[in-house]
Amino acid sequence: MDYFYGPGRNHLFVPGPVNIPEQVIRAMNRNNEDYRSPAVPALTKTLLEDVKKIFKTISGTPFIIPTTGTGAWESALTNTLSPGDRIVSFLIGQFSLLWIDQQQRLNFNVDVIESDWGQGANLEVLASKLAADTAHSIKAICIVHNETATGVTNNLAAVRKLLDHYQHPALFLVDGVSSICALDFRMDEWGVDVALTGSQKALSMPTGMGIVCASPKALEASQTAKSVRVFFDWKDYLKFYKMGTYWPYTPSIQLLYGLRTALDLIFEEGLDNVIARHSRLAKATRLAVEAWGLKNCTQKEEWYSDTVTAVLVPPYIDSSEIVRRGWKRYNLSLGLGLNKVAGKVFRIGHLGNLNELQLLSCLAGVEMVLKDVGYPVKLGSGVGAACAYLQDTTPMIPSRI
Q: How does DSSP assign 265-323, residue by residue?
A: HHHHH-HHHHHHHHHHHHHHHHHHHHHTT-EESS-SGGGB-SSEEEEE--TTS-HHHHH
The whole-angstrom separation of Cα 348 and Cα 73 is 25
d(CA 184, CA 200): 18
331: left (phi over 0), alpha (psi -120 to 50) or beta: left
The domains found in the chain, sorted by start residue, are 11-19+270-400 (3.90.1150.10), 22-267 (3.40.640.10)
pLDDT recorded at residue 8? 85
Integer CA distances (angstroms), 135 to 19, 40, 86, in order: 48, 47, 12
- 177-218 pLDDT, tens digit per residue, is 999 999 999 999 999 999 999 999 999 999 999 999 999 999
Confirm whether residue 329 is marked as ligand binding: no
pLDDT band for position 236 (cuts 50, 70, 90): very high
- pLDDT, tens digit, for every residue of 71-121? 999 999 999 999 999 999 999 999 999 999 999 999 999 999 999 999 999
Burial (CB < 10 A; 0-12, 13-18, 19+), residue 325, is middle
Q: Which residues contact 74 (CB under 8 A, 6 or more apart)?
A: 102, 106, 229, 232
Q: In whole angstroms, give the CA distance from residue 354 to residue 366.
A: 17
Q: Note whether 196 and 213 are within 8 A (CB).
A: yes
If you average pLDDT over every residue of the chain, what do you get?
96
Question: Which of 192, 155, 183, 171 lies closest to 57, judged by CA?
Answer: 192
300 CA to centre of own chain? 20
What is residue 120's DSSP assignment? -
Distance linking the first and last C-alpha atoms of the chain: 46
CA distances from 362 to 142, 252, 333, 357, 366 (A): 34, 33, 9, 9, 6
Does 257 have pLDDT greater than 60? Answer: yes
Give the whole-angstrom CA distance, residue 71 versus residue 78. Answer: 10
- Could you tell me the maximum CA-CA distance found in the chain, to the nearest angstrom? 64
DSSP 8-state symbol, 227: -
How far apart (Å, rounded) are the C-alpha atoms in residues 152 and 48? 30
- Distance of alpha carbon 334 from its chain centroid, rounded? 17
In percent, the amount of the chain with pLDDT more than 70 equals 98
pLDDT in tens, 378-394: 999 999 999 999 999 98
Residue 13 reports pLDDT greater than 80:
yes
Beta strands in 136-235 (DSSP E): 138-144, 146-147, 152-153, 171-175, 194-198, 210-214
Percent helix, strand, coil in the chain, to 5, is 45, 15, 40
Nearest to 154 by CA among 196, 116, 123, 192: 123
Assess whether pLDDT exceeds 90 at residue 7.
no
Rounded to whole angstroms, the Cα distance separating 71 from 41 reads 23
